[in-house]
């Protein structure tokens, strides 16, 4: 968390200047981790506004041109856009350039990028566990990553010095680092994030119009992540479909156990199930819990 005297990277390019990309850019500038930050995207008007707002130092709509000048590129795009964009950028990269992403799925991307990158150009997947249901760089924050966890998912062929360099970068942004295989990552986040999104969305869909005025803070919290951008979430759920389906089934078993106990009016079974959920929830700590209202 200490400010390095010399920037870790001279030029950093963020591809996709939205909430996450914008926050990486801001955090890297504020912490002096990169001397110069380029934002890449398709919409020059939006990028110019982001530059004017101080999110990036410079913007570029030509990905390869930016790649040629960068030591590190971060792809903050929907997961179904990462592979093609990384391949495109890699063509323009000098040897020694590191590419990573911030996507919520890792296996399919790692598989598709395991070959065919130019020699000396390395892609290693990253997943900083931070975000919001809000989209756009207007919501970017330099402290978005403070105290959060970042998973890096190297594969067998990943050079160890490049893994270290990537780990150093995310650590400097304030993240606590974990390393997992892409497959272990996808299995775990199905449980911690993807299934909860399926659940929140399903719960939101059960609300009848006439009951809307009775939906208070409990309903609002439980369904908050159902407001996530579908362009982000449908590709995530599709890329991790098998793990998500298994996770949904495990969840459905838990719901069914409670339902059965309720049918039997089995107070001790209900209490035991409730206590287990309560205990696990409490061990998750205060993250995300709000002041009473």
**Interaction residues for a second copy, span 224-243 (CB under 8 A):** 224-228, 230, 233-234, 237-238, 241
In 76-138, beta strands by DSSP E: 98-101, 122-123, 125-128
Q: Does 138 bind a second copy (CB under 8 A)?
A: no
- Alpha carbon distance 9, 263 (integer Å): 61
Comparing CB distances to a second copy, the nearer of 157 and 283 is 283
Is residue 128 packed enough to be buried (19+ CB in 10 Å), middle (13-18) or exposed (0-12)?
A: buried
In 3D, which of 213, 214, 237 has the Cα closest to residue 225?
A: 237
- Alpha carbon distance 159, 89 (integer Å): 20
In the chain, beta strands by DSSP E: 9-15, 34-40, 58-60, 72-75, 98-101, 122-123, 125-128, 149-153, 176-179
- Alpha carbon distance 220, 222 (integer Å): 6
Comparing CB distances to a second copy, the nearer of 65 and 204 is 204
Q: Does 220 bind a second copy (CB under 8 A)?
A: yes
Q: Does 53 bind a second copy (CB under 8 A)?
A: no
Of 29-37, 44-52, 93-101, 211-219, the segment contacting a second copy by CB under 8 A is 211-219
Comparing CB distances to a second copy, the nearer of 157 and 218 is 218
Binds a second copy by CB under 8 A, chosen from 65, 68, 81, 129: 129
Binds a second copy by CB under 8 A, chosen from 7, 39, 131, 174: 131
Q: Give the nearest distance from C-beta 239 to a second copy in angstroms.
A: 10
Binds a second copy by CB under 8 A, chosen from 114, 132, 171, 179: 132
- Alpha carbon distance 6, 224 (integer Å): 40
- Residues touching a second copy, count (CB under 8 A): 95
Residues 170-209 that bind a second copy (CB under 8 A): 178, 188-189, 191-193, 195-208
Helices 241-263, 230-239: crossing angle, 10 deg rounding: 90
Comparing CB distances to a second copy, the nearer of 1 and 274 is 274
Instruction: Please provide the size of the chain in residues.
Output: 293
Q: Give the nearest distance from C-beta 94 to a second copy in angstroms.
A: 34
Structure tokens at 189: 């986040």
Q: Does 265 bind a second copy (CB under 8 A)?
A: yes
- Alpha carbon distance 187, 148 (integer Å): 19
Comparing CB distances to a second copy, the nearer of 44 and 250 is 250
Binds a second copy by CB under 8 A, chosen from 19, 55, 124, 167: 19
Q: Does 136 bind a second copy (CB under 8 A)?
A: no
Q: What is the sign of the dihedral through the CA atoms of 272, 288, 151 and 283?
A: negative
Q: Does 111 bind a second copy (CB under 8 A)?
A: no
Q: Does 216 bind a second copy (CB under 8 A)?
A: yes
Q: Give the nearest distance from C-beta 126 to a second copy in angstroms.
A: 14
Q: Does 217 bind a second copy (CB under 8 A)?
A: yes
Q: Give the nearest distance from C-beta 108 to a second copy in angstroms.
A: 13
Question: Do 103 and 233 touch, CB atoms closer than 8 A?
Answer: no
């Amino acid at each position: 968390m200490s400010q390095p005297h010399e920037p870790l990277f001279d030029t950093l390019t963020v591809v996709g200047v939205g909430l996450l990309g914008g926050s990486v850019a801001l955090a890297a500038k504020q912490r002096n981790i990169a001397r110069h930050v380029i934002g890449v995207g398709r919409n020059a008007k939006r990028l110019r506004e982001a530059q004017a707002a101080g999110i990036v130092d410079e913007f570029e709509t030509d990905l390869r041109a930016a790649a040629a000048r960068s030591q590190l590129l971060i792809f903050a795009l929907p997961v179904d856009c990462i592979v093609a964009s990384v391949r495109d950028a890699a063509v323009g990269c000098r040897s020694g350039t590191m590419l990573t992403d911030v996507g919520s799925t890792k296996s399919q991307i790692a598989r598709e990028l395991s070959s065919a990158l130019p020699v000396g150009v390395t892609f290693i997947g990253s997943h900083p566990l931070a975000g919001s249901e809000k989209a756009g760089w207007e919501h970017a924050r330099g402290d978005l990553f403070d105290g959060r966890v970042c998973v890096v998912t190297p594969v067998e062929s990943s050079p160890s010095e490049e893994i270290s360099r990537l780990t150093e970068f995310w650590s400097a942004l304030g993240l606590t680092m974990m390393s997992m295989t892409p497959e272990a990552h996808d299995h775990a986040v199905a449980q911690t994030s993807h299934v909860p999104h399926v659940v929140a969305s399903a719960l939101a869909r059960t609300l009848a119009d006439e009951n809307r005025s009775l939906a208070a803070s409990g309903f609002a919290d439980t369904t908050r992540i159902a407001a996530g951008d579908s362009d982000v979430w449908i590709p995530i759920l599709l890329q991790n479909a098998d793990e998500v389906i298994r996770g949904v089934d495990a969840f459905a078993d838990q719901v069914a156990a409670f339902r059965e106990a309720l049918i039997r009016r089995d107070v001790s079974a209900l209490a035991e199930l409730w206590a287990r959920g309560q205990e696990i929830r409490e061990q998750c700590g205060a993250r995300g819990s709000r002041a009473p209202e």
